[in-house]
Amino acid sequence: MTPTPREVAAELVDRVLDVPGHRAAPTAMSWLCSVLDADRVEVHMLDRRRERLHLAAAAVRDATQAPAEPHLDARTSPAAQALHAGVVLGHRVNERDVHHVPLEAYGHTVGVLSIVRPATPLASDVAAGAFGSVDWRRLGRTLAVLFQQAATTTDALELARRTYEYSIAAELQWDLLPPADTATDRFALRALVEPAPRVTSDLFDWSLNGDRLTVVLLDAAGRGLVATQVGDLALAALRNARRSGLSIAEQAALADQALWDRHHGHAAVDVVLLEIDLVAGTATAVHAGSPIALRRRDHEVELLDLGNGHEPLGLLDRTRYDAGPVDLRPGDVLMLLSDGVAAARDSVGRVFGVDVLAHRLERSSAPRDLPSWLVAELRSRGGR
């Protein structure tokens, strides 16, 4: 009897959970290669810069086959096209059907599963991403959850997604940050911190609780481990306040006091706290420091007024923070930036500037790809 999609997913879960975390990817690939009667099954993990997909595990029917590609371009390869489109893509190569399945759960994409099989009689099966009883999307979601859980018990999957050596400061930062993207039927969010292997002072956070989305952007003054520790303390304090049920104004005050108690005015963190009611379509913000907000509405882009600005967190004892209304509506696109992005200079000293960002935001048909575009643009200009 042919297994149902639910049975395939359930069996996969059982097999992966029966092995240690470092064996999760190889075990999954080996079993899928067998159950799908595939010539090759492989999984590539997305790096933090969203530049490359790195091979994490592969299984082949015939050991004489050529080895899997260790790296794929995360922007132009067929696997990357499936990742960016968020859909299963199939095509035919040399009498073989190839499927690329995004590994995505809760709007967070961790990599791409690729399956190569003998060609099926119906070409429409390839285009539709279907094969017999297999539900490719369910398979991708199941693997994404399994690999994210396995990554909490082993370094194997984390190392598989790295292109560069990471500094100690970056190690601290990335362990603290939430997933860099998420999406529901009401909103989509993507964040990027650069340079990923050496980041020290820029952080982000987000949390969806019921119909209320909280987004935080922080920029700690300074560089190196000192700035990292300051930013980490501020973020931990903000999370503690949020999880205690405090308003965003009270969250800012608690984080400010934590920094003052520890550093007595010798450490500062610029921050924007934004809270969006996804049902009412309203938003409020606390703006302390210099982060920049651009809003696109009906293809018109302008600097968004985040309300009365406060001093950065940590400079004064017992500062009071106020949250003010922000003009956001359903359908708007919001881009939050640390001031270092707009102030970045190219190799001859020219400032990148907000106008370039606004122009790109105005013309973009895929706003979620803007962080990757921005980093690539800064690099191409020799930004520093």
pLDDT (tens digit per residue) in 139-186: 999 999 999 999 999 999 999 988 889 999 999 999 999 999 999 999
Lowest mean pLDDT across 237-251, 294-308, 349-363: 349-363
Tens digits of residue pLDDT in 264-283: 999 999 999 999 999 999 99
Is residue 124 located within the same domain as residue 185?
Answer: no
Looking at mean pLDDT, say which of 123-127, 191-195, 331-335 comes out highest: 331-335
Strands 309-310 and 282-288: parallel
- pLDDT score at 215: 97
Over 60: is that where the pLDDT of 322 sits? yes
CB 121 within 8 A of CB 114: no
Task: Judge if 199 and 312 occupy the same domain.
Answer: yes
The CATH number that applies at residue 126 is 3.30.450.40
pLDDT at residue 347, as a whole number: 62
Reduce the secondary structure of the chain to three states and give it as a string. CCCCHHHHHHHHHHHHHCCCHHHHHHHHHHHHHHHCCCCEEEEEEECCCCCEEEEEEEEECCCCCCCCCCEEECCCCHHHHHHHHCCCEEEEECCEEEEEEEEEECCEEEEEEEEEEECCCCHHHHHHCEECCEEHHHHHHHHHHHHHHHCCCCCHHHHHCCCCCCCHHHHHHHHHCCCCEEECCCCEEECCCCCCCCCCCEEEEEEEECCEEEEEEEEECCCHHHHHHHHHHHHHHHHHHHHCCCCHHHHHHHHHHHHHHHHCCCCCEEEEEEEEECCCCEEEEEEECCCEEEEEECCEEEECCCCCEECCECCCCCCCCCCEEECCCCCCEEEEECHHHHCCECCCCCECCHHHHHHHHHHCCCHHHHHHHHHHHHHHCCCC
- As a whole number, mean pLDDT of residues 58-80 equals 89
247 and 226 assigned to the same domain:
yes
Domain boundary pick from 137, 159, 181: 159
**Is pLDDT above 80 for 128?**
no
- The proportion of the chain whose per-residue pLDDT surpasses 90, expressed as a percent, equals 62
Same domain, 112 and 175: no
Q: What is the pLDDT of residue 3?
A: 67
Of the pLDDT bands very low, low, confident and very high (cuts 50, 70, 90), residue 7 is confident
In percent, the amount of the chain with pLDDT more than 70 equals 91
**How many structural domains are present in the chain?**
2
Based on the fold, state whether residues 149 and 209 are members of the same structural domain.
Answer: no
pLDDT mean across residues, the chain: 88
Q: For the whole model, what pTM was predicted?
A: 0.88
Q: Residue 235: is its pLDDT beyond 90?
A: yes
Q: Give 52 or 363, the one with higher predicted confidence.
A: 52
- Same domain? 131 vs 236: no
pLDDT tens readout for residues 346-367: 666 777 778 878 888 888 878 8
376 and 246 fall within a common domain:
yes
Q: What is the pLDDT of residue 130?
A: 43
- 291, 239: one domain: yes
129 pLDDT band, cuts 50/70/90, is very low
Please tell me whether residues 204 and 61 are part of one structural domain. no
Domain that holds residue 305: 166-380
Q: How far apart are the first and last CA of the chain?
A: 60
Q: Which residues pair with 277 in a beta bridge?
A: 212, 282
Give yes or no: residues 229 and 301 share one domain. Answer: yes
Inform me whether the pLDDT recorded for 383 exceeds 60. Answer: no
Domain boundary among 140, 159, 178: 159
297 and 172 in a single domain? The answer is yes
Domain boundary pick from 159, 184, 209: 159
Query: Is 326 found in the same domain as 205?
Result: yes
Query: What is the per-residue pLDDT for 381?
Result: 62
Residue 354, domain CATH: 3.60.40.10
Give bridge partners of residue 115 from the DSSP assignment. 41, 99
pLDDT at 205 > cutoff 50: yes
